Amino acid sequence: MLQVKELCKYFGGIKAVDGCSFNVERGTITALIGPNGAGKTTAFNCISRTAQPTSGEVWLDGERIDQLRPHKITRRGLSRTFQISRNLADMTVLENVICQSQIGGWRDLLKPAMSPEEIDKAMHLLDFLGISRIAHEDGSNLSYGQKKLMDLAALLMSDPKIILLDEPAGGVNPTLLEEIVGHIRKLNEQGMTILIVEHNMNLIMRLSHRIVVMAQGRVIAEGTPAEIRENPAVLDAYLGGTLEDAA
């Protein structure tokens, strides 16, 4: 479904992503892991076009997308979250979620700021994620985990085919983390394809169908969780210990 071919992103003499190539199969949960500074988030930024690649190609369902603007990539079915919530200040959770609705064109300027259809859709997503009770709370007042769920609801407003999740477990308490894991599984069971960057190795090993490992901007290994756990190159990249110990 998603093909990344020889992707590069250079910052002067720093090669943050250097010839990175991997595929994401339709209907899978694929994890992108690696030590700090491996280039994972930069790769995410290039795939979603929030950063312009230096070179390389990104294909979605047989169409090249790396030369498109971010909103056009979203229209083609790829959406992503960020490590840090980007909620808009002084807006409620519901308003933050609806802000991510797809824009149909100039005629949308004549519609209400929040149409009944958008409100219904947003409330359905908030209910699915178990946070409809805070729909009218100020988004800036939420806990870190609640902001992660709000971001996920906003992501789903665009009806994506594939979602990129950047550290969904980061800073989340264990109880809420299990809820987030459950929601990711449910979305995948419903047919959603998911690419996830995460440092929580326990979560990755029990959630992913396939894992891609990056180090120094390159892909050094791919395989099932069991294969990655025993891969010498991966263990060496994580400073010689187990993946869990390194994380």
Residue of higher predicted confidence among 191 and 169: 191
**pLDDT of amino acid 102:** 60
| Each residue's pLDDT tens digit, 180-236 | 999 999 999 999 999 999 988 889 999 999 999 999 999 999 999 999 988 988 888
Distance CA 124, CA 133 (A): 12
Q: What confidence tier does 246 reach under pLDDT thresholds 50, 70, 90?
A: very low
> What kind and span of H or E run contains 170?
none
Amino acid at 211: I
Higher-scoring residue by pLDDT: 12, 83: 12
Asked whether residue 244 carries a pLDDT value surpassing 60, the answer given is: no
What domain range includes position 224? Answer: 2-246
Report pLDDT for 243: 52
**Beta carbons of 203 and 172 less than 8 angstroms apart:** no
pLDDT band at 155 (very low <50, low <70, confident <90, very high): very high
Q: What's the rounded mean pLDDT across residues 44-58?
A: 95
What are the distances in angstroms from CA 182 to CA 34, 80, 110, 139, 207? 24, 18, 39, 23, 10
Q: Tell whether the model's pLDDT for residue 171 goes beyond 90.
A: no
Total domain count, the chain: 1
Task: Quote the mean pLDDT of the chain.
Answer: 88
d(CA 108, CA 4): 34
Percent of the chain past pLDDT 90, that is, above it, reads 64
Burial class of residue 20, CB neighbours in 10 A (0-12, 13-18, 19+):
buried
Mean pLDDT of 27-47: 94
CATH number of residue 221's parent domain: 3.40.50.300
- Each residue's pLDDT tens digit, 88-142: 778 899 998 988 766 554 455 445 567 888 899 999 999 999 999 999 998 888 8
* pTM of the predicted structure, to 2 decimals: 0.88
- pLDDT of 154 reads 92
Residue 175 has pLDDT above 70, yes or no: yes
Residue 161 has pLDDT above 90, yes or no: yes
